[in-house]
A and B are shown apart, each in its own frame.
Chain A
Amino acid sequence: MPQTRTIAVAMSGGVDSSTVAAMLRAEGHNVVGLTMQLWNQRRLAGHEGMPEAVQGRCCSLDDVYDARRVAETIGIPYYVVNHEERFERDVVRPFVEQYLSGRTPIPCSLCNNHLKFDQLLIVAQQIGADALATGHYAQVDFDQTRGRWLLKRPTDRSKDQTYFLFGLTQEQLSRTLFPLGGMMKPEVRQLAQQHGLALAQKPDSQEICFVPGGDYKKFLDAYLAEQGESLPDTAGELVSTDGEVVGEHGGIHNFTVGQRKGLGIATGSPLYVIQIKGDARQVVVGDQEELYSRTLRVHRTNLISVEDLREPMRVTVKIRHRHEGASAQIEKSGDDGILVSFDQPQRAITPGQAAVFYDDTVVVGGGWIA
């Protein structure tokens, strides 16, 4: 029997975090369930392009209801905490601004850094919990020899969420538990069933929680309209990699690096978005080969397994969540930057996404692609 602790569980109403709560409770810990209310789904309902009725995954009343039912079933106190203001400031606004400047943001990492492992962890400690447990697929360990907390890939590689967690500090990792890190997803569902949780077969969530149907363009329109702002005019030229003007576009926020469809020009060979030049409002297009590049730079770096990067290091780098990882060397570049040099050129390196560095299963750190 492990030592009894007071543990707060971040409950989303999904099967993973619900199972975490049930597991920890069964181990005899004092468990407190917390759900963050981050976004009011009703806000944009009925705006043009948005559904009339309340929809969307996260923070819906249905999810809160599911989480509350789980808490009742396993017999733990449960609370909803409202962090809508912080979420809008630190996640939604940056998300909108990144798109408008021609980048492709990942709000989940921002939410982890600013909300889950910051605000919620503080609340957890304030209400007397020693640690915050979540349903993320990842592992956290203290390494005696290095004297550092390590973030590691989970047993179920198909569910690996370490890419979204690269921003965690040593302090945050020291108070975080990922009880599902050593389990396979089917085992988790089975365990949920065994604990009598009605939602054991609830489907996994996929899309960005505050963007209904995953259509970010409609979300931008609706959000800006609600704020009384208009979509800035970022229409401009489509140019080739040689700088030759080959067409026009209706706004840079409509494009993502690597995108093929929707360019509106007919040529012999397929064209791809190679680069988005926000200041010049230019979208650079080219053929498949021109999408590849050998280096990238990240900024706002966070290092986990090492305190500092004194000399270049060989790592595997993921440049998007579903990227399989590629061998590269990383070295310091400026104050909080790192230069990544791949062994093989990589396709569609996308500003706004994160590059996360791995040493086998250990997360070395990561940063935002400049």
Chain B
Amino acid sequence: MRRVYLDNNATTPVLPAVFEAMQAYFGEHFGNASSIHHHGQETRAAVERARESVAALLGCRASEIVFTSGGTEGDNLAVFGVTQGLTKPGQHVITSTIEHHAVLNSCKHLESSGCEVTYVRVDRLGLVDPDEVRCALRPNTRLITIMMANNETGVLQPIEDIGKVAAEADVYFHTDAVQAAGKVGIDVKRIGCDLLSISGHKMNAPQGVGALYVRKGTALRPMTFGGSHERSRRAGTENVPGIVALGKAAELAREAIARGDLEQMSNLRDRLEQTILSEVESTAVNGQGAPRVPNTSSIYFDCIEGEALVIALDLKGLAVSTGAACSSGAIEPSHVLTAMGLPSERARGSLRFSVGKQNTPEDIEFALGIIPQTVARLRELSPIYNKTAARY
């Protein structure tokens, strides 16, 4: 069966050039980067080259990059690393209602250990208002953590303005840029953030590697204790093949952005989005009108259970998603879409399409060839749709 993958916000395939770059570090160059001998020096050099490449993607110094195991660890290290919440209660943190669970649940954990947290709301487009962040500031506010691009809608947050709010108040600012890296240019100086996390597998490097930008001078307490790896900010032997891959992926992402490849990505996304909207009735884009990353489209289909639509499409060879998946693999109603004010039926009837570097115009045509008929079948069998139809 032909299969087309349009769920690149969940994970992306490793690019061939990235795979090639990392391969030598499984066998040929296997050294521990902390060893003093030749083998160690070889891998140390590779790790530091990768660090420079990631730093170049983010516009910072290499020494400000801490390699992690991925987005979740980066978010956790940022949130806990500067709040010291576990030992010093009575601090305040500002975040938003649409953050990834890596940030949301970290904040909930802070709350349970005595820290106060404000969850700033978003508007109908899924945007955080920097003025609301400003209003939420308190004398004991320690950290603002607001994501750069939302994983479900792709909506880009006004983080430069939030960065200014943080700077004026002299509060740490972290942004989860996992869904932004490789899809828009990132410059930590322009953003004005102290901490920024990215994940390898969302940008064509493998799963299990990521990076956290930590601005020089940030008082970051480590979460793991052991050797003095990563300048004592993250103990544990480096995942050298993963780090090399992330370095290569960062280099390719920077080149692609400079070349204008993102426009191709948005062309594919726009073709998919506009055709669905014109061919399928009672649909709309969540967050339309807000600035978005070029690859993501969240669309609601009235009178549809998104879950059933995802399964029906998968059985026909098209991989998309409804949003975040829970541990059993079942789908929980999206906290992001409900936070935007979508009624729960519409949140449950929403699908996320996310295009990747590997997708072609033919992939989009394949998707468009099956989506309208599949939606029609689901609606035909939907008790809600029939009731709605009978009313008119």
Question: Is B371 part of the binding interface, using a Cβ–Cβ cutoff of 8 Å?
Answer: no
Contact A61 B328 (CB under 8 A): yes
Produce 1/0 per residue, A39-80, CB < 8 A to B.
000000000000000000001010010001000000001011
Total A-B Cβ pairs within 8 A? 53
Q: A77-B315, A82-B307 are in contact. Are A126 and B381 (CB under 8 A)?
A: yes
Contact B381 A125 (CB under 8 A): yes
Q: How far is the CB of B242 from chain A (nearest CB, A)?
A: 27
Interface residues of A in 111-161 (CB under 8 A from B): 122-123, 125-128
Q: How far is the CB of B347 from chain A (nearest CB, A)?
A: 12
Contact B378 A80 (CB under 8 A): no
Interface residues of A in 20-49 (CB under 8 A from B): 32, 35, 37
Q: A122-B383, A126-B308 are in contact. Are A82 and B315 (CB under 8 A)?
A: no
Complexed CA–CA distance, A37 and B326 (Å): 11
Q: A122-B381, A126-B377 are in contact. Are A81 and B332 (CB under 8 A)?
A: no
Contact B331 A82 (CB under 8 A): yes
Question: Is B382 part of the binding interface, using a Cβ–Cβ cutoff of 8 Å?
Answer: yes
Q: How far is the CB of B288 from chain A (nearest CB, A)?
A: 27
Interface residues of B in 365-392 (CB under 8 A from A): 377-378, 381-383
Produce 1/0 per residue, B305-322, CB < 8 A to A.
101100110110000000
Contact A37 B308 (CB under 8 A): no
Q: Which residue of B lies closest to A32 (CB)?
A: B315
Q: How far is the CB of B226 from chain A (nearest CB, A)?
A: 30
Q: How far is the CB of B35 from chain A (nearest CB, A)?
A: 40
Q: Which residue of A lies closest to B309 (CB)?
A: A126
Q: Which residue of B lies closest to A6 (CB)?
A: B315
Q: Which residues of B contact A80 (CB under 8 A)?
A: 328-330
Give the interface centre of B305, B312, B328, B381 by most chain A CB atoms within 10 Å.
B328
Contact B308 A127 (CB under 8 A): yes
Q: Which residues of B contact A123 (CB under 8 A)?
A: 305, 307-308, 311
Complexed CA–CA distance, A122 and B311 (Å): 13
Contact B327 A61 (CB under 8 A): yes
Q: Which residue of B lies closest to A64 (CB)?
A: B328
Complexed CA–CA distance, A125 and B312 (Å): 10
A interface majority secondary structure:
mixed
Interface size of B as a range = 10 to 19
Q: How far is the CB of B332 from chain A (nearest CB, A)?
A: 7
Q: Which residues of B contact A125 (CB under 8 A)?
A: 381
Contact B307 A81 (CB under 8 A): yes
Q: Which residues of B contact A64 (CB under 8 A)?
A: 328-329
Q: Which residue of A lies closest to B329 (CB)?
A: A80
Interface residues of A, CB < 8 Å — how many?
18
Q: How far is the CB of A300 from chain B (nearest CB, A)?
A: 19
Q: Which residues of A contact B308 (CB under 8 A)?
A: 81, 122-123, 126-127
Q: Which residues of A contact B328 (CB under 8 A)?
A: 35, 37, 59, 61, 64, 80
Q: How far is the CB of A33 from chain B (nearest CB, A)?
A: 11
Complexed CA–CA distance, A260 and B43 (Å): 76
Q: How far is the CB of A75 from chain B (nearest CB, A)?
A: 14
Q: Which residues of A contact B378 (CB under 8 A)?
A: 126
Complexed CA–CA distance, A128 and B331 (Å): 20
A81: contacting residue among B311, B327, B383, CB under 8 A? B311
Q: Which residues of B contact A82 (CB under 8 A)?
A: 307, 326, 330-332
Complexed CA–CA distance, A123 and B328 (Å): 18
Q: Which residue of A lies closest to B322 (CB)?
A: A82
Interface residues of B in 325-342 (CB under 8 A from A): 326-332
Produce 1/0 per residue, A1-33, CB < 8 A to B.
000000000000000000000000000000010
A-B contacts, 20 listed (Cβ < 8 Å): A32-B311, A37-B326, A37-B328, A37-B330, A61-B327, A61-B328, A64-B329, A79-B329, A80-B329, A81-B331, A82-B331, A82-B332, A122-B381, A122-B383, A123-B305, A123-B311, A125-B381, A126-B308, A126-B377, A127-B311
Chain B residues within CB distance 8 Å of chain A: 305, 307-308, 311-312, 314-315, 326-332, 377-378, 381-383
Chain A residues within CB distance 8 Å of chain B: 32, 35, 37, 59, 61, 64, 68, 77, 79-82, 122-123, 125-128
Additional pairs, 14, CB under 8 Å, beyond known A32-B315, A123-B307: A32-B311, A64-B329, A68-B329, A77-B315, A79-B314, A81-B307, A81-B311, A81-B330, A81-B331, A82-B307, A82-B332, A125-B381, A126-B382, A127-B312
